[in-house]
Amino acid sequence: MPQVWQIAAGETGRDYTKLFLDYDLMFMGPGNPGAYYKHSYDALVEQGLVKKGIATQLRQFCTEINGNDIVLLRLGSQAKAIGWIRPWRAPGEYRWMSTFDDVFGWDLQHTRRVIWQHHLTDDLQKIQKSKGLFYYRGSAFSKVNRLEGQILELFKQCKPRDLKPLPSLPEPLTLEELGTELFSKGLPNEDVDKFILAIQRQRRLAKWYRAQSKKPAEHEVVAHMILPFMLALGWSEQLLAVEWNRIDLAAFSRTPRKKENVCLLCEAKEYGHGLQNKTFSQATNYIKRLKLDNCKRILLTDGERLYLYQRKKDDSWDENPVGYLNVKLIRTNHIAPAGTSAVDTIMALTPAGINRV
């Protein structure tokens, strides 16, 4: 009987399920310290930079999985898919991949290839619905030692196939390259200089925040990170209102500051907070409750990561972000949200870009 493992597909606000299944892989972090070597990660634990439990999970993930092992992909307490690790001679062994240095803002470069068994998903869900069999929480990655007999039978139906291709991403832009890109998009020279300075300050502050045991709350994120960012893009103080009708930040197409003139709503969370699902719903509920009929864009942010959403022609909201920017890693294409450009996102957040919609 092969060893069975479980891996969490993220957490609240960060769901990696689609990425795992689309690319036939699984990943873990933190990956920024580099490829896994026990002595180096043990040293990080001693320095207090990596928790001991996380280091143990990384050791198992990077060194203990064998060919023919089974993986259960879970989200919360439910298994979403069954995966099969091909024998070692196939490309299924551990790899550190820089491609995954920004997955919803997290560094998850420790990877393994997995053949996800899509043909077993329906049966897996039926068994769980009737048995309620999966209950693993708390551990991002661990061995599974007890399972319902029916699910064990599914493992015998795993089939080999070719692995799906991995994504390829451009390298992050330098600030010089970013300035050139923004200038070519039409941002005036003086505004380019102001914005680059704002990014430098934001990066410096974010680095300091990351080192603090207590992360800043959303009000501090708005005051110290988002307001300077928006002002550098050409917004005036008159067109930006903090805590307007309990909204973290509202932008107006013109004065006076009334609901008919709201063109952008910004919902901020504490630094490092997940920004999917509930955060997006919270923002759309504000718009509905306050009847902000002319608000065409939503910005979700924790100060370092910014997701931009757009209202569709039928007045519903596209649940997939149309823009994304990670202040630390500015790219013209991303793993998630796929196909988004940080440069285009920045231009869309200028007053002219917002009011063009």
Helix (H) or strand (E) holding 14: strand 14-15
Please report how the helices 175-184 and 189-210 are oriented relative to each other, as an axis angle in degrees rounded to 10: 140
Domain ranges of the chain: 4-155, 175-355
Residue 295, helix vs strand vs coil:
coil
Terminal-residue alpha carbon distance, the chain: 58
Residue 224 is classified by DSSP as I
As beta bridge partners, residue 311 has 317
- For the stretch 51-92, pLDDT in tens is 999 999 999 999 999 888 999 998 887 889 999 998 765 545
Which of the pair, 139 or 200, is modelled with greater confidence? Answer: 200
| Mean confidence (pLDDT) of the chain | 89
As beta bridge partners, residue 103 has 106
Residue 257 is classified by DSSP as -
Distance CA 307, CA 318 (A): 12
Tokens 């972090």 found at: 29
Distance CA 66, CA 48 (A): 30
Q: What was the pLDDT predicted at 276?
A: 63
Q: What was the pLDDT predicted at 168?
A: 87
Question: Are 224 and 215 spatial neighbours (Cβ–Cβ below 8 Å)?
Answer: no
Q: Read off the tokens for 101.
A: 């240095």
- Written in H, E and C, the secondary structure of 167-204 is CCCCCCCCHHHHHHHHHHCCCCHHHHHHHHHHHHHHHH
Cα torsion through 350, 352, 355, 357, rounded to 10: -90
User: What are the strands, taking DSSP E only, across 78-163?
Assistant: 78-84, 95-96, 110-113, 115-116, 141-144
Q: What was the pLDDT predicted at 275?
A: 65
**Nearest in space to 297 (alpha carbons), one of 313, 282, 283, 308:** 308
- For the stretch 120-135, pLDDT in tens is 999 998 888 776 666 5
SS3 content of the chain, % helix, strand, coil (to 5): 35, 20, 45
Residue 356, helix vs strand vs coil:
coil
Which fold, 175-355?
tt1808, chain A (3.90.1570)
Distance CA 262, CA 144 (A): 51
- For the stretch 208-244, pLDDT in tens is 988 887 888 889 999 999 999 999 999 999 999 999 9
Our separate counts of H helices and E strands in the chain read 12, 16
Reply yes or no on whether the pLDDT at 175 is more than 80: yes
Question: Are 324 and 337 spatial neighbours (Cβ–Cβ below 8 Å)?
Answer: yes
Question: Are 183 and 192 spatial neighbours (Cβ–Cβ below 8 Å)?
Answer: yes
Number of residues that this document lists for the chain: 357
